[in-house]
Amino acid sequence: MAKRLQNLVGDTVIRLSGDSVEEIRVESLCGKDSVIGIYFSAHWCPPCRGFTPKLIEFYNNEKQKRSSTKFEIIFVSWDRDEAGFKEYFATMPWLALPYDPDKKHKGKLTKKFRVQGIPKLVLLDGENGKTITVDGYTCLTDNPNGEGFPWRRKKVTEVIKGPIITSNKTEVEALEALKGKYVGLYFSAHWCPPCKAFTPELIRIYEMLKSNGKNVEFVFVSSDRSQDSFDLFFDSMPWMAIPFGDSRTEALKGLFGIDGIPSLVMIDDKGEIINLNGRAAVVEDIEAKEFPWYPKPLNELTGSASVMLNESACLVLFTEGEDSDIDMAIDVLSELAQEESEKGEDQELFFFFGADDDICYSVRDFASLDDQCPLLVIFDFPEQKIYVCKETDITKDIARAFVKSYFNETLESRPLKPTV
């Protein structure tokens, strides 16, 4: 665990001790039964200023209770300057990343946990480094006395059990109705224009799967604001739904870290996650030939990749788009992409090849890249950087060396604009 955490936050963090700053070795925080919180926050953020006092109270109480178990929090500042960081950190009893204008470790943490807004509290298992929950904020808000801490991730079956509604408006027990099936949890709402645009396509895919004998069921998890809106939207759907206003809606959002809609999460017949980004998979697979849409290590760069581009570091090999060019890109990148995907939760780089989708031209234009093909690039939008391979003949060895240099932090970068 220590090495994994050090890769994210560095070898040391800091604690205020009176007027002095004390350095704390990160490895000292790790071990059996320890829990480490990563708290993304900023003084300028009103919701953060409202949540931080509650977190301080919980932290102090928990430190007293857990005499044989370690619990620590590391503050990751989103403050706009060092003065703001120091003023805010002075109110906190826990640790912090040292203020860094280059945002090196903040960028890594933001990418890993796909932080789009603050406050955000991520809890890690101090023994193995695995994520316990990315939604500690909601967990503590719902359980201010710390009931259930550290809120270890529940299985989908534990969260979804209870009555759900069929398309015929009858109630059935979720575990019985979904047993042995591939399940798509569809987070959506009637008031959301992208949801209303995507739903007819998802209905078409669902009916195609059913007609082909696939053992599948979808469940609508609503973000509608009224029962009437829920009823109106659900009436258009051929699948099942969590009842409007049911507490399982927020529990499922928290379980999967759903920040935006529409979202489609695919679950296998044993209740394990297949794909958190099922929506993109469906958009790219209009004939549902790749159902149930297990993630692929290497994908074509299309419009559905925009979320990944904005949230993570992505390697793209741009080509002319001819069949032979695409075959070359797949041959060059497949092994590297597979190796990186096998890191699972620790994957830091995602792989794409560019053919002739419009987004290829948009991204190249945005990044001020010329028309050279093939062109090997790593985009890091969270840190607003781009890395361009200087070689014009891209081979497996060149691609591997390029990636190795990226991870060794020896590649030269240049600035990018903030968003795609």
- The CATH code that applies to domain 156-284 is 3.40.30.10
Please tell me whether the overall predicted TM-score, pTM, comes out greater than 0.85 for this model.
no
Domain range 1-142, CATH architecture: 3-Layer(aba) Sandwich (3.40)
- Could you give the CA distance from residue 400 to residue 402 in angstroms, rounded to a whole number? 5
Q: Span 376-395, mean pLDDT?
A: 94
Provide the H-helix boundaries in 122-213: 136-142, 156-160, 174-178, 193-211
Report how far apart, in Å, the C-alpha atoms of 333 and of each of 233, 297, 327, 337, 406 are: 42, 9, 10, 6, 15
Domain extents in the chain:
1-142, 156-284, 298-415
| pLDDT single digits (tens) 81-100 | 999 999 999 999 999 999 88
- Could you give the CA distance from residue 98 to residue 23 in angstroms, rounded to a whole number? 9
Q: Which residues of 41-62 are buried (b: 16+ CB within 10 A; e: fewer)?
A: bbbebeebeebbeebeebbeeb
- Could you give the CA distance from residue 58 to residue 134 in angstroms, rounded to a whole number? 17
User: Residue type at 53?
Assistant: P
Contact 298, 337 (CB under 8 A): yes
pLDDT at 67: 58
| pLDDT single digits (tens) 276-305 | 989 989 998 999 999 999 989 999 999 878
Q: Is the peptide bond before 382 cis (omega within 30 degrees of 0)?
A: no
Say which range, 18-22, 24-28, 117-121, 199-203, has the weakest mean pLDDT. 18-22
**Cβ-Cβ contacts under 8 Å for 263 (sequence gap 6 or more):** 186, 187, 188, 256, 276, 277, 278, 279
Q: Span 38-43, mean pLDDT?
A: 96
pLDDT at 419: 47
- Could you give the CA distance from residue 78 to residue 301 in angstroms, rounded to a whole number? 30
Task: Look at residues 256, 276, 254 and name the one whose alpha carbon lies nearest to residue 265.
Answer: 276
- The CATH code that applies to domain 298-415 is 3.40.30.10
Please report the sign of the dihedral spanned by the C-alpha atoms of residue 224, residue 229, residue 231, residue 233: negative
